[in-house]
Structure 1
Amino acid sequence: MRQNDKNFLYFGIPYALFFFGVLALTLAYSKSELHMALTANYSPAMDLFFRYFTEMGASIPYVMVGVLLLYRFRASLYLLGSLLIGALITNGLKRIFSIPRPKTYFSGNFPDVVLHQVEGVGVHAWNSFPSGHTTAAFAMMACIALMANNKYVSMLCIVLAVLAGYSRIYLSQHFAEDVLAGSFVGFTCALALYPMFRKMNVPGGWADESLRSVVRRNENHQN
């Protein structure tokens, strides 16, 4: 096993614990009970944190694609491919199931329940399963963990991915099962495309270059 594959265990093993732990909770409790339990504790500081941290599954993954262009083309393509395939799968499942989000679910089944709302966050009504933000966050973090040759980076990545997933529950945009499914899609996409990333590791090939190296070479030719 390659060293960076071993380092990925520091992401993969905690993810397995997270996955089966959340799965057990979804089987033991109803979606309403579990959602209320997971959103029972909140504060202004947590509101502010999760309002912005949820971008880990929105704009930040695609910003990271751009950043990686400055590092290696193959790294950027690997992340972009994982994100796009994950988005296609997630959006397809959303259309198939068309499950109500917490706002719609609780208003229809438990009208007396008032969900905590974070100021400045628009709460969606439908297409709850699975969570697209969670898919993107786990795809990005799993890709980074696989590419990194550092166990501490892998551990940081799984923490950030789980927090991004929980942000969707905290903001009442998704239920726990939505986050669980989204995490699996993102994680699986990153794993499935990893062999392609490794095959593109050809020294001197175009995939081994970066946007910086291309610009630098063009400047040298002009001079």
Structure 2
Amino acid sequence: MKEILQQTRIFLVLFACYLLIPGFILLMTAKGQFEIWLNSFHTTYFDNFFYWVTYFGDGFFAAFLLIGLILFFSIRKGLIITGILLAVSVVTQILKLFVFPTMDRPSVYLKDVLELHFVKGLEIHTSNSFPSGHTTQAFCLFFLFSYYYANRSMNYLFFLLAVLAGISRVYLLQHFLIDIYAGAVIGSLGSLILLFYVNKYNLLSSPALNKPLISIR
């Protein structure tokens, strides 16, 4: 665990700060207030920016990166990140579908707010709001990248991309702040715990798996 914490210390320090700020907002505001406030800053630029940024937490985006990682960099890293990403995603989906199945999305909860702005061309979901699956995947993916590619500058970038993916879900009125807060916790801490056990039991330890798939003959 010490080695993991050392490798990801920048990401985790930023994550701790991240938990404090939204946590304070959640304590001080009623459900829906922050979402309405953030959405009020809508512009064409922000619409386009967050429309695309939200894909950082999309499964197809993750699959594209992980296939590239396995093909060109390391089979082992790609498989481990894939396994952990699937595991935390399953946890999120269980919470969505079975523990909190009646949690409405902002489009339903705030249906009487006339000034809400919805981005054109975006499918707006109405149910299974808690927690945010996109945010879970983004924080999981970029936390693991911060571990395997421990570079000071890249750690800042990885964290920023994860946060932007979460914020996009609120701006686009797909989720509440509490949804992305929980998604970030599940994605980051779930990945930390699972990575600890992967390293502890030395899973996928064959030297051949450290190579990219294209180099295997």
Same fold (TM over 0.5): yes
CA contact (8 A) 1:200 1:207 kept: no
Deviation at 1:82, TM superposition (A): 1.8
- Equivalent residue letter for 1:78: I
SS of 1:31's partner is coil
CA contact (8 A) 1:201 1:208 kept: no
Residues 162-177 of structure 1: pairs in structure 2 closer than 5 A: 162-177=163-178
- Equivalent residue letter for 1:154: N
Residues 34-53 of structure 1: pairs in structure 2 closer than 5 A: 34-53=34-53
Deviation at 1:171, TM superposition (A): 0.3
Please tell me whether residue 104 in structure 1 is matched to residue 105 in structure 2: no
CA distance in 2, matches of 1:131, 1:43: 24
Q: How many residues align?
A: 210
CA contact (8 A) 2:38 2:170 kept: yes
Correspondence for 2:195: 194
Deviation at 1:152, TM superposition (A): 1.0
Deviation at 1:79, TM superposition (A): 1.2
Correspondence for 1:79: 81
Correspondence for 1:220: none
Q: Cα RMSD (Å) of the superposition?
A: 1.7
CA distance in 1, matches of 2:7, 2:39: 33
CA distance in 2, matches of 1:154, 1:201: 25
- Equivalent residue letter for 2:105: R
Correspondence for 1:115: 116
CA distance in 2, matches of 1:149, 1:181: 25
SS of 1:91's partner is helix
CA contact (8 A) 2:84 2:195 kept: no
CA distance in 2, matches of 1:193, 1:209: 22
TM-score calculated relative to the size of structure 2: 0.91
CA contact (8 A) 2:40 2:116 kept: no
- Equivalent residue letter for 2:122: V
Identity %: 30
CA distance in 2, matches of 1:130, 1:33: 18
Moved more, 132-141 or 81-90: 81-90
Q: Which segments of 5 or more consecutive residues in structure 2 lack a partner in the other structure?
A: none
Deviation at 1:193, TM superposition (A): 2.4
- Equivalent residue letter for 1:123: I
TM-score calculated relative to the size of structure 1: 0.88
Correspondence for 1:20: 20
Correspondence for 1:9: 9
What are the superposed Cα offsets for residues 182-223 of structure 1, whole Å, 9 maximum, x if unpaired?
011110222122235542474x62322321121xx2xxxxxx
Give the 3 Å change call, closer, same or farther, for CA 30–209 of structure 1 in structure 2.
Answer: same
CA contact (8 A) 1:128 1:174 kept: yes
Q: Which segments of 5 or more consecutive residues in structure 1 lack a partner in the other structure?
A: 218-223
CA contact (8 A) 1:57 1:136 kept: yes
- Equivalent residue letter for 1:182: G
